[in-house]
A and B are shown apart, each in its own frame.
Chain A
């Protein structure tokens, strides 16, 4: 491989796909188009997780986000949006251009702060016990499992309560009572 490295080039291409598709997601007028661009973003993020040696999370990303959550969002868009124009079917005046620009400027300041932190703040932490090649030798999902069902046992059991609350809450809200 050349000086830059195959992984690096792949990362750059995927990062570009993520940024472009997420910008398209945030700006499309039709919410269905937004949702489809969101799926592209999630797939590209899964590729980045693969490049960062997180195979199990990449698969979970495709299965949970791109598969299940986006399906649910598309269902709900089909349920609530009878017409395409979502921004204009309101009696109130839409945001003025200046107001939108002010909001965007606020976020650009946030972005600059984040970039400053990411580039100039040197992170320090104790180096962990799971170097990438050792994890790859043991199996990525297996290592996650060993942590999840050992050290993180209590959060795992609490997650089941959270899922139970999710089921009950959604059914209570959405079920038509006769």
Chain B
């Protein structure tokens, strides 16, 4: 546990500095609230309609692929640590795992989900 103390100290400092900066500007700075000051910045336009844009579904497919291959990387970490002791057996079992996921990757590729159009 003792080796995590620096992380705790870092966390405390990060919170302290964030609170300090925001709090100091809130307390010390003086605020002018005129109509011109609060209006949309210079070249900006008054927005019309809802400002939340609907995101494209292509982003979803990319994010989903990231999630699945992130899990694959998490499986690779412990394997990399023990593969020296497992010898050829460990190599072959990971080869099967990666090959099965490669089939999925090929499927996505052939289906054209990676293309942006």
Chain A residues engaging chain B, CB cutoff 8 angstroms: 6-7, 10, 50-51, 56, 60, 63-64, 67-69, 71-72, 75-76, 78-79, 81-83, 139, 141-142, 144-146, 148-149, 153, 156-157, 159-161, 163-164, 166-168, 170-171, 174-176
Q: Check A68 against B66 for contact (C-beta < 8 Å).
A: yes
Question: In the complex where A163-B71, A168-B104, A171-B107 touch, is A82 in contact with B55 (Cβ < 8 A)?
Answer: no
Question: In the complex where A83-B50, A174-B61 touch, is A64 in contact with B70 (Cβ < 8 A)?
Answer: yes
Q: Check A83 against B54 for contact (C-beta < 8 Å).
A: no
Residues of A within 8 A of B79 (CB): 145, 148-149
Q: Check B104 against A149 for contact (C-beta < 8 Å).
A: no
Contact of A79 among B54, B71, B107, B111 (CB under 8 A): B54
Q: Mark B98-117, 1 if CB is under 8 A from A, else 0.
A: 00110111011001110000
Q: Check B101 against A79 for contact (C-beta < 8 Å).
A: no
Residues of A within 8 A of B71 (CB): 64, 68, 163
Q: Check B75 against A7 for contact (C-beta < 8 Å).
A: no
Residues of A within 8 A of B101 (CB): 160, 163-164, 167
Residues of B within 8 A of A75 (CB): 55, 59-60, 63
Q: Decide yes or no whether B88 CB sits under 8 A from chain A.
A: no
Contact of B65 among A50, A153, A167 (CB under 8 A): A167
Q: Check A64 against B74 for contact (C-beta < 8 Å).
A: yes
Q: How far is the CA of A67 from the CA of B86 in the complex (A)?
A: 31
Q: Decide yes or no whether B78 CB sits under 8 A from chain A.
A: yes
Question: In the complex where A64-B71, A164-B100, A164-B103 touch, is A170 in contact with B61 (Cβ < 8 A)?
Answer: yes
Q: How far is the CB of B29 from chain A (nearest CB, A)?
A: 27
Q: How far is the CA of A107 from the CA of B8 in the complex (A)?
A: 35
Contact of A168 among B57, B60, B77, B107 (CB under 8 A): B107
Q: Decide yes or no whether B21 CB sits under 8 A from chain A.
A: no
Q: Check B97 against A157 for contact (C-beta < 8 Å).
A: yes
